[in-house]
Amino acid sequence: MCVVGASGKLGRYMVRHALERGYEVVGVCREKSVAKLAEFEGRITVFPGATDDRAVIARAVHGCDAVLTVLVPWGVRHYASGTAQAVLDHARPDARLVFSCGWHITRDGQDAYTWTFKAFATVFGRLAKLARVVDIDDQVEACRRVFASDTGWTVVRGSDLEEGDSQGLPVWSRHVGDPVLASNLTRRVDFARFMVEAVENDALIHEAPAIVGRLTPSALAHAGE
Ligand SMILES: NC(=O)c1ccc[n+]([C@@H]2O[C@H](COP(=O)([O-])OP(=O)(O)OC[C@H]3O[C@@H](n4cnc5c(N)ncnc54)[C@H](OP(=O)(O)O)[C@@H]3O)[C@@H](O)[C@H]2O)c1
């Protein structure tokens, strides 16, 4: 299993889950972040480099059954779409590909967002792009390319995140706006678990699950539905 963006918070949780499940793990992260993977020394193979570096990705995903990719909209140089494209182009055609993003990504336009969510996304997106720090539109483009591909993809859409002990596998819905998601909070460790477990869940192929913590009030209120 290859984890692209392994040194970030979500990435390191995914590496831990993957090792616990007995996978042989390969990680890709920026050269300056390799030290953040020190706890896994001797247990994973690290390919240092930008995650949109096609040559690095080609080497890292070679022979992998699954590739988990953290899509991040950092910078204004198409980092997210470049990363997604490199994975789509170089992973084995039959590999399971799982990508992370947020609720703001919509696959079919059927998501229903609150006005506060929309206002925050619009204002934050514009200011961050003006400051040339973050380009949300590029993460949208990255996911558009994934949705259009004929690979075995899943795009996991995270709610707001928090740290803390695991609450178990998050619950999910096809659409933001579903009352089960109303609490809008997931433990990062469980987001990572959902990403790793998606690899062996064929029902999630070509799905874009929006997730929420399984012990949040909205998930508990709708348990069993
Ligand atoms: N944060 C949230 O509340 C939230 C909510 C919903 C969904 N998500 C999704 O969850 C995933 C993980 O997000 P996260 O916020 O928890 O962050 P994270 O796991 O800490 O990951 C951040 C990633 O971005 C990389 N990065 C940081 N600065 C960069 C730069 N200037 N250029 C290139 N790469 C850079 C980091 O690499 P280094 O280790 O090299 O710095 C790391 O791989 C993302 O797909 C995000 O869309 C997050």
pLDDT in tens, 164-198: 999 999 999 999 999 999 999 999 999 999 999 99
Rounded mean pLDDT, 85-97: 98
Asked if residue 74 has its Cβ within 6 Å of ligand 1, the reply is yes
Tell me the residue type at 95. Answer: A
Q: How many domains does the chain have?
A: 1
- Domain CATH code at residue 104: 3.40.50.720
- pLDDT confidence of residue 129: 83
In DSSP terms, 155 is beta-bridged to 99
Cα 192 to ligand 1 centre (Å): 12
Q: Among 39, 57, 70, which is best to mutate for testing ligand 1, by the most ligand atoms less than 8 A from CB?
A: 70
In DSSP terms, 187 is beta-bridged to 162
- pLDDT confidence of residue 20: 98
- The percentage of the chain sitting over the pLDDT mark of 70, rounded to a whole number, equals 100
- pLDDT confidence of residue 161: 98
Contacts of 134 by beta carbon, 8 Å cutoff, 6+ apart: 73, 74, 75, 125, 128
Note down the domain range covering 79.
2-221
Residue 7 CA: nearest ligand 1 atom is 39
Residue 100 CA: nearest ligand 1 atom is 45
Cα 218 to ligand 1 centre (Å): 26
In angstroms, rounded to a whole number, what is the distance separating the alpha carbons of residues 27 and 44? 7
Please state the separation of Cα 206 from the chain's center in Å: 14
